Amino acid sequence: MKEIRVKFLKNRFYRGKNYKPGDIVKILSNDLQAYIDCGVVKVLGADKGKNKKVDYNKLTYKELQRYCKNKNIPAVGTRESLIASLNE
């Protein structure tokens, strides 16, 4: 099972220990959803890198095709046309 870092938002017990608001703890992934549903914890680091702007000029043709497929853009054409369609 995977451990995920979370920050407690309320006083709660986890695995026999009482945690206060602001405590950062690693909890097991199978316990995580119940704590999130109750509004007890906030997952840390979940959005790392999601808002980073990708520099398409530094990517290979295959990587550009993969990005196009992920965004449901036709992955056909020259490298420059793929970059242009991704930047739209």
pLDDT for residue 37: 84
Task: Give residues with Cβ within 8 angstroms of 18, minimum separation 6.
Answer: 11, 12
Q: Where are the domains of the chain?
A: 3-43, 56-87
Q: For the chain, 88 residues long, give each residue's pLDDT as a single digit of tens.
A: 688 889 999 998 888 999 999 899 988 888 888 888 888 888 887 555 455 678 889 889 998 998 888 889 888 999 999 999 988 8
Alpha helices in the chain (DSSP H): 29-37, 61-70, 79-87
Q: Does 3-43 carry CATH code 2.60.90?
A: no
Q: Please tell me the distance from the alpha carbon of residue 51 to that of residue 6, in angstroms, as a whole number.
A: 20
